[in-house]
Amino acid sequence: MADISAGDFKNGITLEVEGKVCQVVEFQHVKPGKGAAFVRTKLKDVINGGVVERSFRPTEKFPAARIERQDMQYLYSDGDLFYFMDTESYDQIAVNKETVADSLKFVKENEMVKICSYNGSVFSVEAPLFVELEITETEPGFAGNTAQGASKPATVETGAQISVPLFVNQGDKVQIDTRSGEYLKRV
């Protein structure tokens, strides 16, 4: 793969910096009054999730990192392992709990997710951006309680806790943004 020079950084690019696979989260070209121009960046280590700030000369080059993103079906969890299947080849893989972290908080069994890997080793699981889940537990809404923007806690069928408006009841299906855990609408 081609090298990427710091002068060509864009948000979302993945590259290797000092043997680590990093994604550019933020960048800024700086041209001081005196001295040479430089590129100030925030880099996220895609394997361990740490974010570091670094500055580079615009001519510095880094090898692009090839990240594989594969659609797979979440099958089930068994203890500390989560099982996924490639729906075309039917190959199955197991991913440990530390790698999965909270990414399956809003994902039911048999849903599709993206498995992210680098050189064959899985480093993260990406849930769909939006999911529809049933409310399994919440206090009943009260007629006449129309406080604008008021919310109450609720549990969805995956066991995750979210905040919902007062009019949402047990048994309702709701749409959730998996990045923020935010209630979007009733469906």
pLDDT above 70 as % of the chain: 95
Q: Is the pLDDT of residue 88 over 70?
A: yes
Domain 3-63: CATH class, spelled out:
mainly beta
Domain definitions of the chain by residue range: 3-63, 67-126, 130-186
**Is 46 within 8 Å of 124 (Cβ atoms)?**
yes
- Cβ–Cβ contacts within 10 Å for residue 42, how many? 16
Highest CATH level, class, for 130-186: mainly beta
* Nearest by Cα to 157 from 83, 81, 106, 97: 106
Which H or E run contains 125?
strand 121-126
Question: Tens digits of per-residue pLDDT, 50-60?
Answer: 899 999 999 99
Fold matches, 3-63 and 130-186: no
Residue 145: pLDDT band (50, 70, 90) is: low
Q: Which CATH class is domain 67-126?
A: mainly beta
The rounded distance, in Å, linking the Cα atoms of 58 and 143 is 62
For 113-122, how does the pLDDT look when each residue is reduced to its tens digit (9 = 90+)?
Answer: 999 998 888 8
State pLDDT tens for residues 67-81. Answer: 899 999 999 999 999
